[in-house]
Structure 1
């Protein structure tokens, strides 16, 4: 029995290792190609770079609109996540802790929004943005990202809040804390793993989003990093050195964020799944 279990562990480890290599290879290939010139990439894409070529990074950061695109990506992602963290936890808390009948209907309404594909309401949404004067600036996509994350965020927080004892809040209420003080001083700090999960999942989606910035932001101005990278892809030829360099610059912040929040992200997903 012990031997059979050991063989199973070895097989499971081998499969996990193979999957890890498969998923890591595109990142490795991109980072390796980012330090090659365009002719070198075209000549042998999988070979190691012969020299530490950084001219593509210099060109991107000094001769193009990529620095402005970096600022747009940071603002778009950072502001969206900030308002999500301020709004969605309160929505999940109100749904989970309220005994009113209408909260169940609101929760179902939020979840129903997750079932409608973006392409189904894309054109009416853009018309609505133009009607409210939000088309052509960063405010429009920020509002869309926040509203689009309410359904999943509410589901995540309500599942997590089921494991937070109500007695803690009742004790704070007896001590004279208001409803807002109970949430922000006592409940919200306990939601750290859940918040980290939401930040990682939504942050990755917003940072890597192509369609929304491409369609909403002005065509004559710098957009986001992902969109600016796309402009180096031509119909007859492509600047692969610029593409890989730009992609490498966009990958680094994501890797840093995930490494910093990995422990809380895994804990939040596991806890939410068990309690949900």
Structure 2
């Protein structure tokens, strides 16, 4: 009985500590949401105080100033197409490398892993030169192609490790039934890779959606700018329009929050499926 009481007290203390840590992580969101409905003067005067009046017109002004529908459409287009291509190409490449363990595939995999340690800043100038030669500048397809190049190493690395855990016997049974190579991959292997597909999807979505540097280098037309670039236009050298920037930031993170809420059940089921072996 004494041990049970100690266990309950320990669990209670642990839960309280975890709740406090969770609230600590929510503090930036409090400042973001509270100040997004304040006037510019109230933000500068006391950013931590509860707003005396809610100015929801800030969202309307930010929506119109940065042309949010256009920026949202560009971000969605780039993120969705990049993710689909990365998931398809990287998973197929990893499957090929694992199931055909040739010297060429081992060297190719080693080169992909080596590319992960190269800082992006060290290849910015060569990237711009190649982009000019290939006419990829100021082009959304060009930006997507860059994301494929920079996102493939990590995606292939993650898929490569997961494919090794897929039993070959399952594929051999499909071969006996007369299934083609593509049929085996799309009907047998890819459904088994769902936990890793979801993981790679989440990582790449966060990276591509929030990326500022690469789109700022490739896209120069204001009509093609993404949400991070559009939001950055509210921060000038001498003035910072906080009453517009904060609502714009809220609008920018809202699609990602909706994405996580929609994917939550798949994330949980994917983890559970990945935990079951044999």
TM-score (norm 2): 0.89
Q: CA deviation at 1:262?
A: 3.6
> 1:208 aligns to what?
210
8 Å CA contact 1:173, 1:182 repeated in 2: yes
Does the C-alpha gap of structure 1 residues 64 and 272 become closer, same or farther in structure 2, counting only changes over 3 Å? Answer: same
Are residues 1:115 and 2:114 paired?
no
> 2:96 aligns to what?
94
Tell me which of 104, 107, 113 is aligned to 2:106.
Answer: 104
> 1:190 aligns to what?
192
Alignment of 1:47-196 (within 5 A): 47-196=49-198
Mapped to 2, the partners of 1:113 and 1:104 lie a distance apart of 14
TM-score (norm 1): 0.89
Are residues 1:41 and 2:56 paired?
no
Are residues 1:229 and 2:255 paired?
no
Mapped to 2, the partners of 1:249 and 1:36 lie a distance apart of 16
Does the C-alpha gap of structure 1 residues 268 and 141 become closer, same or farther in structure 2, counting only changes over 3 Å? Answer: farther
Q: CA deviation at 1:39?
A: 2.3
8 Å CA contact 1:80, 1:145 repeated in 2: yes
Does the C-alpha gap of structure 1 residues 68 and 242 become closer, same or farther in structure 2, counting only changes over 3 Å? Answer: same
Unaligned runs of 5+ residues in structure 2 are none
Unaligned runs of 5+ residues in structure 1 are none
Does the C-alpha gap of structure 1 residues 119 and 64 become closer, same or farther in structure 2, counting only changes over 3 Å? Answer: closer
Farther-moved stretch of structure 1 (147-156 vs 260-269): 260-269
Q: Aligned pairs, how many? A: 275
